[in-house]
Amino acid sequence: MIGGINTSNRYIIPVSNRSYVTPVSTENNVESAARVQPVECQTCKNRKYVDGSNEADVSFKAPGHIAPGQSYATVMSHEQEHVANARQKTAGKDATLLSATVSLKIATCPECGRTYVAGGTTNTTIAYEKKNPYDRGRKLVEGSFLAGQNIDEAV
């Protein structure tokens, strides 16, 4: 027998009759125990978020604190403000919003080990239409140069 395991039959033999479950008594009762309060580490408590873009009408222009558990929702809603600004910029104008992507950066606190959203970026691609009054005339001239350049030799 090695370490409580019978190697010949491969079954576990109890080493002792000791119970691993502590019985409930007045000393270890949950109601009589002091409640454990979650403690926020100093790194998470002092973490500040600030917007680095040139858009004046978005949140976090001044540094502000976000709790780690609320960082995803808060940072995502901030990045959606940038997407809304891009949509507003292209609405009713000679521009088209081709794409808007949001990327969030996840990090782990070195002190307490909590994961949180460390920041985000929004990339937008906008295509602006160029209206040139001479485009129609240019297309007519280019079309006249191209006419008759294809010859059907089978006839």
Report the DSSP beta bridge partners of residue 65: 48
Q: State the chain's mean pLDDT as an integer.
A: 77
DSSP 3-state assignment of 101?
A: strand
Rounded to whole angstroms, how far apart are CA atoms 75 and 51?
Answer: 10
Rounded to whole angstroms, how far apart are CA atoms 107 and 101?
Answer: 20
End-to-end CA distance of the chain: 100
What's the pLDDT at 147? Answer: 72
Which tens digit of pLDDT belongs to each residue from 97-148?
Answer: 999 999 999 999 998 889 999 999 999 999 887 777 777 787 788 877 777 6
What's the pLDDT at 12? Answer: 42
For the chain, the structural domain boundaries read 41-129
Residue scoring higher pLDDT (17 or 120): 120
Which tens digit of pLDDT belongs to each residue from 36-54?
Answer: 556 678 999 999 999 988 8
What's the pLDDT at 121? Answer: 93
- The whole-model pTM stands at 0.59
